Structure 1
Amino acid sequence: MISAQDWADTRRLWDYHQMDHTPRPCSVAIGLGSHDLGVADTAVDLYRRGLAPLLVFTGATSPTTRERMPRGEAFHYQERALELGVPSSAVLVEPRARNTGENIRFSRELLREAGVDVSSVLLISKPYEERRAYATARKLWPEVEIVSASSPMTLDEYVDSIRDARLVIDMLVGALQRLLIYPDQGFMISQHVPENVIEAYERLCRHGFTSRLLRDDEGQPLSHTRR
């Protein structure tokens, strides 16, 4: 059972993961592959609003998308965009990336090979991945401005769309763990995490929302207190 305290802590993590950037015109919009076609829909909306002249969709497959998106996340995103009226000339596909770091690195390489001059990026992710995507891009592509974006959804709306509240909480907890430990591993920039967010994260871990945590060789969740 998910308690009132669990929900309060989950909302605190959800709010922290959101960057609250205001979308503005950028050189390109990059949609990070996942199970969520809402990323493609958001990219198309931003394109239609004139905020990006070019869309890049990046992503191979993962255990959670292999059946739903057998041709690869990026290709399914591309198909969605074309169905919604985006011309094929305005879409590039990067089909190899299997994690956020590769999403950024491979998209950067693709744009360089295509001769696209990039000074700013609308970086589109799932709502709870905004901060992680931003921190990764700032580490790997520091010379460009990153503007985070995602589907404009509340936590309740997102839970309804996934239809598995416990899984959503697990994903939020896993994303927060990565924000805490990945900077020391060189995967993303370090960002301030308020104490009340850390406390909410630790309570949710104690209450068993741990299926998406990274673990050590002994199967124990990696801790942000370890050095």
Structure 2
Amino acid sequence: MTDGQESAPGGRQWADARVLWEYLRLGHPARRCDAAVVLGSHDLGVADRAAQLYRAGLFPVAVFSGGANRTWPERFPEGEAAGFGARARMLGMPAEAVLLEPAARHTGENLTLSRRVLAEAGVPVRSLMLVSMPYMERRAYATCRLRWPEVEPVCASAPVGLDAYAAGIGDPRLVVEKLVGTLQRVIEYPRRGFAVEQQVPDRVHQAYRRLVADGFRGWLVGARV
């Protein structure tokens, strides 16, 4: 497979994608936190999960963070924060529990700008739930450890496997490219001062390199791979 091809991932490629998926998820046990930050993305299911966790009593207030969406901008014409926040309210979160941070362009800003929103709202935070897409858990955790080291982060996402998740998104190739891009950031961003370093097993590195060689490069940043 080469750059520009739009075919879906094959058997070995899907197995490699599953290796990345399992590594990028952390599986933190759910527990009550002082607040939540909901990371904007192209996946509206993140807002659904946030509303579910709120109804379960796991946090009293959440910041929905994110500016314009690069993947499917037409789905969120007013930005990720507004779209996700509206969805959460529709699913039962009261307006006073929904704070918006509409400017963040990346995960680092999700954390730093949401921290400011919570401080301005007078919410003391010692423990923080990070609600994200399943494969964003590890990156969100590493970013929070650097950007907001005083809090204890608890990662949360939809309890779903790779097959079901890709089917729900409707674009398996996009999901694999997002997995590859997310892992690249986990590897590279500590060197750039954007996140704390985490150990990446050899088998994860190998699966990642095979997928890059196969052309799943659509969400890579300009870094050595």
What interval of TM-score do these two structures reach, taking the shorter chain for normalisation? Answer: over 0.9
Deviation at 1:105, TM superposition (A): 0.3
Q: Which amino acid aligns with 1:154?
A: G
Query: Which of the numbers 201, 207, 218 marks the counterpart of 1:200?
Result: 207
Aligned to 2:174: 167
- Residues 92-103 of structure 1: pairs in structure 2 closer than 5 A: 92-103=99-110
Query: Which of the numbers 59, 67, 75 marks the counterpart of 1:68?
Result: 75
Output the TM-score relative to the length of structure 1: 0.93
Aligned to 2:4: none
Deviation at 1:150, TM superposition (A): 0.7
What CA distance in whole angstroms lies between the structure 2 residues aligned with 1:58 and 1:3? 35
**SS of corresponding position for 2:33:** coil
What CA distance in whole angstroms lies between the structure 2 residues aligned with 1:91 and 1:165? 32
1:185 aligns with 2:201: no
Deviation at 1:65, TM superposition (A): 3.7
Q: Which amino acid aligns with 1:145?
A: E
1:110 aligns with 2:117: yes
1:176 aligns with 2:186: no
Aligned to 2:53: 46
Aligned to 1:211: 218
> Identity percentage over the alignment?
52
1:59 aligns with 2:60: no
Output the TM-score relative to the length of structure 2: 0.94
What CA distance in whole angstroms lies between the structure 2 residues aligned with 1:162 and 1:30? 22
Q: Which amino acid aligns with 2:22?
A: D
Deviation at 1:170, TM superposition (A): 0.8
**CA distances 1:1-58 after superposition (whole Å, capped 9, x unpaired):** 5332111111000000101101100000111011111111111111111110111100
Aligned to 2:21: 14
Query: Which of the numbers 155, 160, 167 marks the counterpart of 1:153?
Result: 160
Gap runs ≥5 in structure 1: 216-221
**SS of corresponding position for 1:30:** strand
What CA distance in whole angstroms lies between the structure 2 residues aligned with 1:209 and 1:39? 24
**SS of corresponding position for 1:147:** strand
**SS of corresponding position for 1:182:** helix
Deviation at 1:132, TM superposition (A): 0.6
The question of whether the paired residues in 1 share the 8 Å contact of 2:43 and 2:169 is answered with no
**SS of corresponding position for 1:22:** coil
Gap runs ≥5 in structure 2: 1-6
Aligned to 1:223: 224
Deviation at 1:131, TM superposition (A): 0.5
CA RMSD of aligned residues (A): 1.0
Aligned to 1:219: none
1:144 aligns with 2:151: yes
What CA distance in whole angstroms lies between the structure 1 residues aligned with 2:152 and 2:70? 32
Q: Which amino acid aligns with 1:128?
A: Y
Aligned to 1:120: 127
Aligned residue pair count:
218
What CA distance in whole angstroms lies between the structure 2 residues aligned with 1:4 and 1:64? 25
What CA distance in whole angstroms lies between the structure 1 residues aligned with 2:72 and 2:109? 17
The question of whether the paired residues in 2 share the 8 Å contact of 1:65 and 1:73 is answered with no
* Higher RCO (CA < 8 A, seq sep 6+): 2
Aligned to 1:87: 94
Q: Which amino acid aligns with 1:113?
A: E
